[in-house]
Amino acid sequence: MISAAARDALSGWLDAQAALKGSSKNTIDAYGRDVTEFLSFMTAYKGEAQGLGPLSALSVRDMRAWMAAVRSDGIGPRSLARKLSSVKSFMRWLADREGFDPTAVLSARSPKYQRKLPRPLAEDAARDMIAQVELQSQDGWIGARDSAVITLLYGCGLRISEALSLKGSDAPLSDALRIIGKGGKERIVPVVPVARRAVADYIRLCPWPTENDQPLFRGKRGGALSPRMVQKVTEAARLQLGLPASVTPHAMRHSFATHLLNSGGDLRAIQELLGHASLSTTQAYTGVDTARLLEVYDRTHPRASGGKG
């Protein structure tokens, strides 16, 4: 049982995350689950509901006990690192409000893990995937829909959530799309002709009307198309093509970035297209080496290029 004070504090922190950082609903929900589980553990571990006073007195030993319990549940290092990050953020915010020292919590070390990025497809394999996805349904409009979604991921570098957030008002697609990505960050993404044609073919075949305030991509019964359906059709297509399990919808976006870079695309421009907050993320995403990254830095950084300030 979580104390009323702790629950109120959690609610206040989540509101602050949504308002100040522009975190998405899914991210806020994940934060809430992580911290709720932490507070519930501390209640059971200590034998009583943890109000703000007991929370301010958490020790390194308490943190180790919680992390050991999480690991014993079969949670991997990456998920534990995310949970710990949520807890630290909450406790840092609470410490600022209540005036206590959160060092014991903040000193807990995040488990090391190797971040796994989806491997890019070869260019011909990416084209084969788009064609194969369309053949997975006997309903022509559903095949056209799935092909259009995958084409947007590969042709424009969209995330699944971004493609499925498109509304009827976005159609017909123009030469560029205004996308609101992670953290509410806005970017403009060019739309290649093949993507515009794929979406137009889907709209022409779709039995559901294109309405401005409704999702552009519809499920079989007319509701919003779910990410899980895109994942399932991608899995079926890659199995038929004999491609590895690393071929996922997100790998299509990853392939977009890698193929663009291999064709001479500028790393900084690719960063903007993907909506990455930092160039180092794009570096890891595309597997570009440090020398290439430094070349971009030298060309774009004000000091490196001779600018002042």
pLDDT recorded at residue 50: 73
Is the peptide bond between 172 and the residue preceding it cis, with omega within 30 degrees of 0? yes
List beta partners, residue 176: 190
Residue type for position 119: R
Active site residues: 159, 182, 250, 253, 276, 285
- CA pair distance 58, 63, nearest whole angstrom: 8
- CA pair distance 165, 179, nearest whole angstrom: 9
How many other C-beta atoms are found inside a 10 Å radius of the C-beta of residue 116?
8
- pLDDT tens for the chain, 309 residues long, are 788 888 899 999 998 888 776 666 778 888 999 999 999 999 888 887 778 888 888 899 999 999 999 888 888 888 888 899 999 999 999 999 899 999 988 988 877 755 555 577 888 888 899 999 999 888 899 999 999 999 998 888 888 988 999 999 999 998 888 888 777 778 888 888 999 999 999 999 999 999 999 999 999 999 999 999 999 999 999 999 998 888 888 888 878 777 766 666 665 666 666 665 555 555 555 554 444 445 544 554 444 334 433
Q: What is the pLDDT of residues 100-140, one digit of tens each?
A: 999 988 988 877 755 555 577 888 888 899 999 999 888 89
Q: What is the pLDDT of residues 142-174, one digit of tens each?
A: 999 999 999 998 888 888 988 999 999 999 998
Contact criterion met (CB below 8 Å) for 83 and 6: no
Label residues 271-304 b or e (16+ Cβ within 10 Å = b). bebbbbeebeebbebbebeeeebeebbeeeeeee
Which element (helix H / strand E) includes 180? strand 176-180
Domains of the chain: 4-106 (1.10.150), 123-255 (1.10.443.10), 264-309 (no CATH)
